[in-house]
Amino acid sequence: MLARRFKRVNTSSKTFYLTLSLFFLTLAPYLYTKGFSINIGALSAFSTRLGEFSGLYGFMLYSVTLVLAGRWKFIAEKFSSLKEMYSVHRDLGELTLTVLLLHPLFLTVQYLLVSFQSAANFLVLDFNYVYGQIGLLVLVLGIAATIYVNLPYRTWRYTHKVMAAVFLFGFIHAYTVESDIFYSTALNLYFLVFAVAGFGSFLYRSVLGKYLVPRKDYKVDRVENLNSEMLEIFLEPEDEEMDYSPGDAAFFSFQDKNVPSETHPFSIVHREGPGFSVIVKEVGDYTSELKESVREGVSVKVEGPYSDIDLEGDGEVWVAGGCGIPPFIGKSRELEPRDDVHLYYSVSERKEAVHVEDLRRLENKLEGFSFTLQISSKEGYITADDLEVGDYSDFVICGPPPMMETLKEQLREKNAKSENIQAEEFDLR
Amino acid sequence: MVKIQKLMTGTLVVTLVAVVAVLGIATFTKPPEVKNSDEGPTNYTMTEVSNHDSPDDCWLVISKRVYNVTSYIPKHPGGKRTITKRCGTEATSIFTRAHSNAAWDILANYKIGNFQAG
């Protein structure tokens, strides 16, 4: 009941509810440990309480951020898409750092009241806090690099692993310094549960994933160049086929020494017969290398599927920008003749558009399906005015973030309700 | 969410400024004198210390020095009870095990004399 309601709310609300729940899940045991009586009269006592609480709350947020990164299927199902889960993961990660920065700041006040030397000693020179100091420093550098620098995919993955690993430093810090956890066995065990869930998720996904995460075996059937930047890789099952729906994504790991070995997510494109295809656009190191080296016969480990976007079909307006087209291609092949769907496909140049002939054929074949190709270099960017808003109730937008943000805003101005606009706002890396 | 990112960036900037300011001031100013010298007129025996064994009048013996921590009890990060149950006793072991160098700085301000065995 609660999980169903959670799944229906938008991404910001999900972040808010999770943050609030974790706040109270920290506050309740904290107050219990303090005997529900907190002296906050003096400045030093007040700031110390805030410092203690922010440490515990940051620890809790950190644990749950790692749990989300574990990509557990039963948790991913509580979100409308995998992208949404990762979006909440990113928000919680940023909140974790915010709250953990407040932890030493508030605790420093009591030492500042003694002297600046005492505060400096506490902040950087005290060896007792070395695990906390190193952990926080690595977290600051890792998150700053992730957010403010456009890292290559491989470096981005590496920084994420390091940030997850430094959770251990936070754990050692929390369990060895004169914290509430140190003094209270109940609090000690309570936070241990979250720590084990968080760090366990990291081990499951990043360290032991090769052995523990279930994957299906596929083989590259053929590779087709769609244009100078995009190719379509057709896969057929080697054993049992994965049960997927149009709009799903999966994680792919190509098992060939000439192909980059890391796992990468792609949207699944439905095709007739066994297997499916993925459309890859050259956007970075990994996709460039993949484009150069992937060939027929290469084995592929596939993990998933995960819901990428939620496509109902009937009564929807779909808007694809650039490489956001794959889920719509798959779903359009499954439409019933009377399903009322309009697909708008916006690309910069005509040569960038893929599967246009397929989509035109479907438009002629299916009574309720219409298709519009918009070339932005000639006709300008697609706007809400270009869309037949009319009787359609739901909008699904998939493309570059600036396009999605602008269209969402314009649709809202045209009185479309937020809950009827589905847009994937961040790139699933 | 952009708002969370802005909040994080703001906190990051404030933290950096605060740490640099504290370190800078600490480097270029003279530390205040603290009462941590072993010299002093007052020596207390265990019998005298043990008379101050309540939350309203709480003395502790730590590393051969005597501290009146009554006014610090409400501020203690580890809670009141961890101190009050030890009032009037020798608490060197637990203090050393659980506390940082900075805590010793704070403790120094509560010193009232030295401990005299016997």
What tens digit of pLDDT does each residue of A222-246 get? Answer: 999 888 888 999 999 998 889 888 7
A40 falls in which pLDDT band (50, 70, 90)?
Answer: low
pLDDT of residue A389: 66
Residues 6+ apart with CB under 8 A from B14: A101, A105
What residues form DSSP beta bridges with B115? B44
pLDDT at A140 over 50: yes
B63: left (phi over 0), alpha (psi -120 to 50) or beta: left
Q: B79 and A180: CB-CB below 8 Å? A: yes
pLDDT of residue A402: 85
Q: A111 and B1: CB-CB below 8 Å? A: no
Concatenated DSSP letters of A119-134: HHIIIII-GGGHHHHH
| Stretch A406-429: mean pLDDT | 75
Report the candidate in B17, B96, B30, B100 with the shortest Cα–Cα distance to residue A122. B100
pLDDT at A179 over 80: no
Contact map slice: A 81-110 vs B, CB within 8 A: 91, 94-95, 97-98, 101-102, 104-105, 107-108, 110
pLDDT of residue A9: 82
pLDDT of residue B98: 64
Q: B77 and A107: CB-CB below 8 Å? A: yes
Residue-averaged pLDDT of chain B: 82
A427 falls in which pLDDT band (50, 70, 90)?
Answer: low
pLDDT of residue A41: 59
pLDDT at A169 over 90: yes
Tens of pLDDT, residues A58-108: 999 999 999 999 999 899 988 888 888 988 999 999 999 999 999 999 988
pLDDT at A204 over 60: yes
CA-nearest residue to B94 within chain A is A178
End-to-end CA, chain B: 66
Q: B31 and A178: CB-CB below 8 Å? A: no
Report the relative pairing of strands A230-237 and A276-281 from DSSP bridges: antiparallel
pLDDT at B116 over 70: yes
Residue A409 host element (H or E): helix A401-413
| Stretch B49-56: mean pLDDT | 88
| Stretch A161-166: mean pLDDT | 91
Residue of A42, A45, A98 lying closest to B11 (CB–CB): A98
A36–chain B Cβ distance below 8 A for any pair: no
pLDDT at B39 over 60: no
pLDDT at B91 over 80: yes
| Stretch A375-391: mean pLDDT | 81
* Spatial separation of the C-alpha atoms in residues B76 and B40, rounded to whole Å: 26
* Spatial separation of the C-alpha atoms in residues A47 and A36, rounded to whole Å: 17
Concatenated DSSP letters of A344-401: EEEESSGGG--SHHHHHHHHHH-TTEEEEEEEHHHH-S--GGGS--TT--EEEEES-H
Q: Is A327 strand, coil or helix?
A: helix
Percent of chain A residues past pLDDT 70, beyond the cut: 96
pTM score above 0.90: no
pLDDT at A111 over 90: no
Q: B74 and A41: CB-CB below 8 Å? A: yes
pLDDT of residue A426: 41
Q: Which residue has the higher pLDDT, A63 or A426?
A: A63
Least confident of A80-84, A391-395, B20-24, B48-52: A391-395
pLDDT at A422 over 60: yes
Q: Which residues of A touch B12 (CB under 8 A)?
A: 97, 101, 140, 144
